[in-house]
Amino acid sequence: MMEITEGSHAVAEAVRLCRPQVVSAYPITPQTHIVEALADFVANGKLDAEYITVENELSALSACVGASAAGSRTYSATTSQGLLLMTEVVFNAAGMRLPIVMSIANRAVGAPLSIWNDMQDSISLRDAGWLQFYAEDNQEATDLHFLAYKVAESKEIQLPVFVCFDGFILSHTYEPIDMLLQEQVDQYLPKFDPAEKLDAKDPISFGMYATPEYYLEFRYEMDQAQKRAKDVIAKAGKEFGTMFGRDYSALTVGYLLDDAETVIVAMGSVCGTVKDAIDEMRAAGKKVGLLKIRVFRPFPSEEIAKALSKVKRVAVLDKNISLGAKGGATAIEVRDAMYGSMIPVKGYVLGLGGRDIRKKDIKEIVSLCENGIGDQFYGLRKELI
C-alpha cells in the first residue's frame, strides 16, 4: 500500500511487520524516531513484543543477544557512538551466530562530535561477521529489513545483519513507500525457528571457550557462512521480487553500465545524486555509469570484477576513511576485486561528517578520474588546511 512516510517511520513499520518478539535499543540521533515509533507500537498494542529499555547501547545489544539465544526474533537500532559502544557485543553476536537484525542510521564518528551522516560507523565494523546491507532510498531501507530477517535466520547462515541507511538524508526524509501488508510479510517471513535455544530443560551454552585447537576453525566457519550468504540473499531477494515486484537478488546494481567508459562505484543515498549527474553527463555525450553496492558484507568481489570488466576507469566514492591506509574501505576492496585487470581504480573520500555531495561534485570526480587523479580526499576546503 502506497504511503508518504518518514524513512525512520517506514523502517519502524517494516520492523513491526516482521513481528520481533524482543526489541532493545537506546535512542541516539538520527536513529531515535525508529525506536520511539516501536515503543509506541508496543505501548499501543500494535506490536506484541517485549521492549527492553536499557541504560546504554552495550546493554541494548547484550539484551538482544540473550533474547536471540533464548529463541526470540530480536531487533535493535543504533548509529555512530552507540554502535561503537556495542562493539564487543557486535562481535559476540556474530560469533554466537545469532540472527539479530539491527538498523544503522549511518552517522559520522567522533571526535570531533558530529551528528551528521557518513558511513564510518558501520564500515568500521566490517570485520565483525555481520552481513551489511546499504539502502539507496527509503523503499530499499524498508524492504531490506524483510530480506535481512529471512537471510539471517536461514539455517545455512545464522549470522546477524546490519541494515544501513544514511542518517537524516534517508532517516528524516519523507518519501512515497509501498508498504507491505501483514499477511504479505507473514507469507514471506515464517516464524523464527531457531536451530538451538537456551532452555533450562535442555541446557546449552552459546559462544563457549575455544582453545587454539578450535578457534581458527570457528572463524573459518563464519567466513564460509558469509560466502554462502551470497546465494541465500540471491534466492531470498528473488523470492521477494516474485511476490512483491521488487527484486533484491543482486548484491550490486548497475545503472547505464553497458557502454560506460567511466564507472562510479558507490553505496547508499548518494547513488541517487550520482544517477542524476550521470543523466546530465550522458546528455552531454559522456559515457558514464554507476555500480551501486547494496551488499557490502559478504563483499561481492566477483560480481564487481565481472560488472566492471569492460570499462576504462573506475571512480569509487567512500563516505568513510581508513585513516593511514590508501583511502576508504570501498575503494580498497574494489581495487582488490579488480586486481589483475589493467583498469585503473581511483578512490575519493568525500561527504564525511555530513558534507553535501552535489551533482557538480560527481561531475568533477569523473573528470579527475579521466585525468588519472584520485586516491585522495575530495572537496577539501583549502583555506582551512
Partner 1 sequence: MTLAVGCRARPGKSRDNKTGSWRVFKPSFDHEKCSKCGMCQTLCPEGCVHEDAEGFFDPDFTYCKGCGICATECPKEAIAMNQEEK
Q: Which residues bind partner 1 (CB under 8 A)?
A: 95-98, 158, 195-196, 202-211, 213-214, 217-218, 221
What does the CA dihedral 155, 157, 162, 163 come to, rounded to 10 degrees?
A: -70
CB 193 to partner 1: min, Å: 14
CB 200 to partner 1: min, Å: 12
Please state, in angstroms and rounded to a whole number, the distance separating the CA atoms of residues 193 and 154.
9
Q: Kindly list the distances between the CA atom of residue 227 and the CA atoms of 159, 245, 302, in Å, as whole numbers in the listed order.
A: 11, 26, 11
DSSP 325-371: SSS-HHHHHHHHHTBTB---EEEEE--GGG----HHHHHHHHHHHHT
Name the residue nearer to partner 1 (CB basis): 65 or 338. 65
CB 268 to partner 1: min, Å: 30
In this structure, are residues 317 and 266 in contact, taking their beta carbons and an 8 Å threshold? yes
CB 205 to partner 1: min, Å: 5
Selection from 79, 55, 67 nearest residue 20 by Cα: 67
| Residue 225, φ and ψ in degrees, nearest 5 | -65, -40
Name the residue nearer to partner 1 (CB basis): 214 or 339. 214
CA angle (171, 40, 66) in 5-degree steps: 85
330: its cell numbers: 570501498
43: its cell numbers: 505501548
274: its cell numbers: 550520482
The C-alpha cell 550468504 sits at 229
Single-letter code of the amino acid located at 25: A
The C-alpha cell 551470497 sits at 230
Eight-state DSSP code of residue 191? P
CB 235 to partner 1: min, Å: 20
Contacts of 23 (CB under 8 A, 6+ apart): 15, 35, 38, 42, 47, 49, 50, 51, 52, 74, 75, 76
Name the residue nearer to partner 1 (CB basis): 120 or 158. 158
Single-letter code of the amino acid located at 187: Q
CB 66 to partner 1: min, Å: 14
Length of the chain: 385
Name the residue nearer to partner 1 (CB basis): 217 or 259. 217
CB 209 to partner 1: min, Å: 7
Please state, in angstroms and rounded to a whole number, the distance separating the CA atoms of residues 381 and 329.
23
Name the residue nearer to partner 1 (CB basis): 156 or 356. 156
Name the residue nearer to partner 1 (CB basis): 206 or 240. 206
Burial class from Cβ neighbours inside 10 Å (0-12, 13-18, 19+) for residue 383 reads exposed
Please state, in angstroms and rounded to a whole number, the distance separating the CA atoms of residues 167 and 117.
5
Name the residue nearer to partner 1 (CB basis): 43 or 195. 195
Name the residue nearer to partner 1 (CB basis): 96 or 180. 96
Name the residue nearer to partner 1 (CB basis): 195 or 325. 195
Name the residue nearer to partner 1 (CB basis): 44 or 205. 205
